[in-house]
Structure 1
C-alpha cells in the first residue's frame, strides 16, 4: 500500500501527519494553499486515491474528515529501503559510501554517524 503513494499524495500525507489529528477538506486545503496551487478538485482526487489505497481513512460527519492509517515513520522507512534496494542493491553501506564520495555529508554528519555506529571506539 505504501509503495503506491505518489509524490503528490505524499504532500497531502505530510499535511495529515503534521496535524496529528483528523482534518476536514477545508483544513487540508488551507494548509496546501501555502505550498501548492492545487484546486480543491485536485485535493479531493488525491484524498480519494489515498482512501482507496487504504493509507487514509475518511469519516463522514457533517463533512468528511481524514486521518492517516500509515505513520510518517512507516512511510519513510519504506521509501528509504526502496531507494536502497533499487539504487544500491539493498546495501545501506553503498548508499553511505555514495554520500561520502559525493561530499553530501559534512564533518558534523560524519561524526554523528560515527557515534551512532560506535565506529573507531572500543565497541567495534
Structure 2
C-alpha cells in the first residue's frame, strides 16, 4: 500500500469519500457540488485538495472536456491500512489488545459483542 495513504488529511478524506461513494470517475463540477453541500469550502480549496490527492498517488485525473477524478485506492484498502496502522502504533501490532481495550472501555453494546463472537466463531471454522 502506498505510504502516502497514511498522509491523507481529514479534509482530503472527505474528498475521497465523495469519490468512493460515486463508484466511478466524477467531473470536478460534481465533486464541487457535493462538497459545497457538505461544507463551506470554496472551489479553490476543493481544487487544492484534489491536486494534493493526485500528487499523493491516491487519485487519478483525466482531462477530457473537463477534469475527471477517480480514486486509485478503494475505501476498503484505505480502511484496512489505517486500521493496521492504528493497531501497530497503539497496540504494538496486537489486534487482541485493541479488542480488549474496546471491551474494557465499555464502548461496545451487548449486541456488538455478540456480533463479534459470531465473527470469531466463523473465523475459527475456516482455519
* TM-score exceeds 0.5: yes
Structure 1: which 5+ residue stretches go unaligned? none
Structure 2: which 5+ residue stretches go unaligned? none
Give the RMSD, CA atoms, in angstroms. Answer: 1.8
> Are residues 1:50 and 2:53 paired?
yes
- Which residue of structure 1 lines up, in the alignment, with residue 121 of structure 2? 118
> Are residues 1:87 and 2:53 paired?
no
- Which residue of structure 1 lines up, in the alignment, with residue 39 of structure 2? 36
CA displacement, residues 11-49 of structure 1 (integer Å, 9 cap, x when unaligned)? 100000000011111100111122211111000000000
> Are residues 1:7 and 2:10 paired?
yes
TM-score relative to the length of structure 2: 0.90
TM-score relative to the length of structure 1: 0.93
1:34 counterpart SS class: helix
More helix as a share of residues: 2
8 A Cα contact 2:36 2:42, kept in partner: no
